[in-house]
Structure 1
Amino acid sequence: MKAHLAAALGSVVLTAGTLLGASAAGAQTAAYPTSPVNVPYGASYVHGTLTWYNRSVVFDGTLRAVGCRRAWFGTYGASGNQLSAKSTSTKCDVTYPINVAIPADVPGGAAYVIVCVDDANAKPLWCERYNRP
């Protein structure tokens, strides 16, 4: 009888441990939201992903420059004020990898980001707005 009771008690302890472990695993934090980016201008483009953090936005992707182009990124607050901006240097006839963090140092971070393909003189040729998901 004691053997059966010990086996049953051991089974209950193992089941409780498994359930508690499952709860802890389910309590993991969610991934940061992302937005796909595609800003074409003729054969040139900026393509990649924005990852939205609490005080910055990270762009990871590429600039395809046909002729001479630049990529430009601006973060904006909820009231439409520009928080920060970053750009690449001028790139000519190349596919250039970009990984850049654009500050958005306000509570809640950026409300939206504008991504542009610029000419060699930093004049915007085409821009797209990406709202925080």
Structure 2
Amino acid sequence: MKTQLATVVGSAVLTAATVLGAPAAGAQTAAYPTTPITNVSYGASYISGALTWYNRSVGVDGALRAVGCRRAWVGTYDASGNPLGAKSTSTKCDVTYSLDGFPPVPADVPGGAAYVVVCLDDASASSLDCELFYRP
């Protein structure tokens, strides 16, 4: 009986030591929120992809499909509607152009941009279609 009890107690102590000696789970950083870019189109031209909401900028990934000559324009705004920053591509003609290397759009205020406007422009930078996307 004592041997069985000693075995059970010894096993319990060994298990407790293993659990208590295990390193704590590492702190996980939350991923930045993203918003899909949808409904920005004019004829067969469109902008698709995603916005990534960083603390003081907004990242843009995706594609500009230009039928004819088009540009992608992205502007950031604070909660009062004040512009914070803007970036655009150069004019692209009859091509699908990757926006994955698009530089982050500045939003250098505490909390970052409240919303973003994404526009599909013509070759003269006149807007053909714009959509507003709020920070999630």
- Report the equivalent of 1:115: 118
Aligned residues: 129
- Report the equivalent of 1:79: 80
Written as runs of structure 1 = structure 2, the 5 A alignment for 1:1-133 is 1=3, 2-17=6-21, 21=24, 24-25=25-26, 27-38=27-38, 39-99=40-100, 100=102, 101-133=104-136
Larger Rg: 2
Structure 2 CA distance, aligned partners of 1:3 and 1:60?
60
Structure 2 CA distance, aligned partners of 1:67 and 1:37?
21
| Residues 29-50 of structure 1: per-residue CA shift (max 9 Å, x gap) | 2111000002111100000000
Q: Amino acid of the residue matched to residue 72 of structure 1? A: W
Moved more, 3-12 or 44-53: 3-12
- TM-score norm. by structure 2 comes to 0.88
| Residues 47-87 of structure 1: per-residue CA shift (max 9 Å, x gap) | 00000000000000000000000000000011100000000
SS class of match (1:12): helix
Runs of 5+ in structure 1 lacking a partner?
A: none
Computed over aligned residues only, the root mean square deviation of the Cα atoms, in angstroms, reads 1.6
- TM-score norm. by structure 1 comes to 0.90
How far the C-alpha of 1:17 sits from its partner, in A, is: 4.5
More helix by share: 1
| Residues 2-22 of structure 1: per-residue CA shift (max 9 Å, x gap) | 55433220111223345x63x
